[in-house]
Structures are given as structure tokens and as C-alpha cells.
Amino acid sequence: MSFTFHVPTRVFFGTGCIQENSAELARWGQRALIVTGRSSARTSGALDDMQQALDRQGITWAIFDRIEENPSLATVESGSAAARAHRADMIIGIGGGSPLDAAKAIAALAANNISARQLFDGAFAVQPLPVIAVPLTAGTGSEVTQYSILTDTESRTKRSFADRSVFPKAAFLDARYLHALPAPITINTAVDALSHAVEGYLSRRSTVISNMLALEAIRSFGTVMKALSQKTFSPDDRERLLYVSLLGGMVIAQTGTTMVHSLGYSLTYFRNIPHGRANGLLLAEALRFAEPEVPEKIAAILAALGLESLDALKDTMHLLLGPEEPWTPEELETFADIALLAANIANTPKVPGRNDLQQVLINSIITA
Ligand code: NAP
Ligand code: FE
């Protein structure tokens, strides 16, 4: 047996975890820049709780609340200017994956004299500022990953940088902040979390430890499938989804994602399909493509979900994710070509070629 496992984030999970652990914040800095989207940090109550915790610890704070969905390079550059203006020594991301990923980028840019595009070049000369994460969606697991995914209009896709130095130092997961998350976003993000667990389980870089976490995440997702299809969520369901998302993040931190995410980026970039939904629309057919290579793993995934077949998984995804998304022949070519350039495609158990990717897209059309 041979593996490495690395998740350096101190995870606080449960109701009231920010209030109860405010002393953790003082370990990382004295001048915080809080990075959020436009409204959910406020409406969820998370921003209030964080501000009170920072005040209690005597930590000065400022807010940068301009992170859009799928954050752009320009936005993280403005955020880093705000961090410098505040002389921030730590960055606190509060939000879905978009503000959390932006917080990581801002932490690196604020410490290094580089442009946002240079984030993709690798190693930073100066250690990024410490990042603290408060997820407000249950999906990306960004609170426990070294990834930041940004939209690069020049290369017409989403690109990620990965660096151990941007793993959040601490993450606070309180499911109360998700109580008003609209059902469509709850579902899309939950499917992203499932996709992380499934892709991580299949990844060529999977290990015994990541597989254990992945199967636990997939089983837990199975227990909330009914709530997802009924679109009503109890506090327990919310907490369970946050747990799935956390585990999914720990998995992909080890394994990376696969062709599902590689193709999904184009669905988001060109068609504005939310990230989790993009993955979910492709998931069953991507598994069908992988099945001859790893049949026992596909069987284990279906068993963990309590589903009989890949067709049942496809039906479930379509029930959850709604109307069809037919693609044009030109789109098939563009999406496949862009996916071939994505680094994560190499993690797929049977690495797809151009035709394979187009076929997965064709097969994923819900109805003709
Ligand atoms: P998101 O883009 O962060 O947010 C989507 C929407 O949900 C926003 O309108 C946001 O509003 C709203 N929202 C968030 N939390 C809410 C809450 N608690 N209550 C009500 N509304 C809420 O969504 P996401 O799916 O979590 O993140 C997607 C991004 O993460 C993509 O860029 C994706 O590529 C990336 N990602 C990263 C990783 C990683 O490992 N780092 C993995 C997978 C995906 P506000 O704008 O007001 O906040
Ligand atoms: Fe994802």
C-alpha cells in the first residue's frame, strides 16, 4: 500500500461554530479582509457572526463584497487592491465556491507582485496571506481544497490554480447559514459535491483513504436524495449536505477531478449552466464511458447510492436538474477541444479522446 494524504485545514463543524471558536481567528492575523458575494453572506447571518467574532478578538476588518459567480481575473485583482489598501494580513472568504476561490486568489495576489493571470504559472515567491473559509453552499468543498477556479476570458474557459499554500487554515461549517439557500442552488451544488466524490473515487490518483471518504460521501448523498427530489430540506438534511460537500472537498484535494469537470467548465462558460448542474448532466454518461475500465468501482458507486443502474442514475440526475440541454454540432467540437486541454482530464480512468468526449456530450442530451 502506498499513498499520501494531506488536508491541513482545521475544520469546525456544527451549530454556532464561529462563535464558539473565535479564538482560532486570532491565530492567523490582526487585520482581516472579508471577501463575499453580493448578498448571501449578509442574509445568511454568517457575516454578522464573523464580525462579532472578529470584534471579540480585537481583529480589524474590512469587507470586499463584489465577488460574482464564477469570479473573473479582474475581480480578484480588485479584491487584492482592497486587501492592500486595508493592509490585510488575512483573508476571510464567506460564500459559495465563488467567494471562497476568490479569497484564495486574493490572498496570493495581495502577497505577490503578479497579475491575476500569473496565478496559473505555479509557485508563489511570497507565501499567500492565510485564508479562512466559511462555506454558504454545500457543494464545492473549497473550504478544504488547494484549488481556486477562475474565469479566464482569454482562454475562453475556467482555469484553476492549485497550491498547498492556499489551503484554508481554518474552515467554519454551520448548516444554519444554508437554511434559505434556494432549492435549485441547493440541488446544483449538492450534485457538484456528489460529482467530486464520484470522480475522486474513479480518479487515477485515488487512494485507500480518499476512497473511504468518497464512499461515505456517496452513501450520505444517497440518504438525502429524497429530500433533493422533493425540494424541501430539514436542518438535518442541510447538515448532511454540508458534510457530503466537506468530504468531497477532502477527496478531490487528493485525487483531482476528471473529464466530467473538464467538460462541465465549457457548459458553464458558454451556456451559463451552473457548475454543479453542468457536472450532473454529464455524470451518468461519463460513468458509462468509464465502466469497461473500472466496472467494480461503478458497481460500488451505484450500490452506495442505492441505485440499480447507470440509467437510474441518469434518470435521477434529470429529475433533480430539470430541463434538457441540447448542444449544437459546433458546440460539441468546441467543448471537446477545450476539455482536451484541461489538466484534470488526465485523472480519468480511461483517458478520453476527442470523439469520446463528443459522444459523452451527445449521449447526455436528455431528450432528442
Ligand atoms: P457560487 O457561485 O458561490 O454562488 C451561487 C449563488 O448562490 C450566488 O448567487 C450566491 O449569492 C448564492 N448563495 C450562496 N450561498 C447562499 C446562501 N447560503 N443562501 C442564499 N444564497 C446563497 O456557487 P457555488 O456552486 O458554491 O460555487 C461555484 C464556483 O466554485 C464555481 O466557480 C466552481 O468552478 C467553483 N468550484 C471550486 C472548487 C474548489 O475546489 N475550489 C470545486 C468545485 C467548484 P451571493 O453572490 O450573494 O453570495
Ligand atoms: Fe466542482
Packing angle between helix 183-202 and helix 259-271, nearest 10 degrees?
150
Nearest residue (by CA) to ligand 1, atom 43, is: 140
Alpha carbons 61 and 59: distance in angstroms, whole number: 6
Atom of ligand 1 nearest to the CA of 104: 41
Does residue 134 contact residue 86 with C-beta atoms inside 8 Å? no
- Sign of the C-alpha dihedral computed for residues 12, 80, 251 and 7 taken in this order: negative
- pLDDT at residue 324 in the model: 66
Q: Which ligand is nearest to the CA of 150?
A: 1
The residues lining ligand 1, judged by C-beta closer than 6 Å to any ligand atom, are 37-40, 44, 69-70, 95-99, 101, 136-137, 139-142, 145, 147-149, 158, 177-178, 180-181, 185, 189, 192, 275-276
Nearest residue (by CA) to ligand 1, atom 31, is: 70
Using CA atoms of 326, 298, 245, 350 in order, give the dihedral in degrees to the nearest 10.
Answer: -70
Task: For residue 302, give every residue at least 6 positions away whose Cβ sits within 8 Å of its Cβ, in sequence order, or none.
Answer: 308, 309, 310, 312, 313
Nearest residue (by CA) to ligand 1, atom 28, is: 97
- pLDDT at residue 325 in the model: 77
Distance 355 CA to ligand 1 centre (A): 32
Distance 196 CA to ligand 2 centre (A): 6
Q: Considering the entire predicted model, what is its pTM?
A: 0.97
**Listed residue (109, 144, 248) closest to 189, CA to CA:** 248
Mean pLDDT per block of 10 residues along the chain (368 residues) reads 96 98 98 98 98 98 97 97 98 98 98 97 94 98 98 87 97 98 97 98 98 98 97 98 98 98 93 95 97 98 98 95 82 92 94 95 71
The angle subtended at Cα 91 by Cα 86 and Cα 95, nearest 5°, is 120
Residue 172, strand partner residues: 12
Atom of ligand 1 nearest to the CA of 70: 32
**Listed residue (97, 93, 83, 66) closest to 31, CA to CA:** 83
- pLDDT at residue 223 in the model: 97
Q: Which ligand is nearest to the CA of 99?
A: 1
Q: Which ligand is nearest to the CA of 145?
A: 1
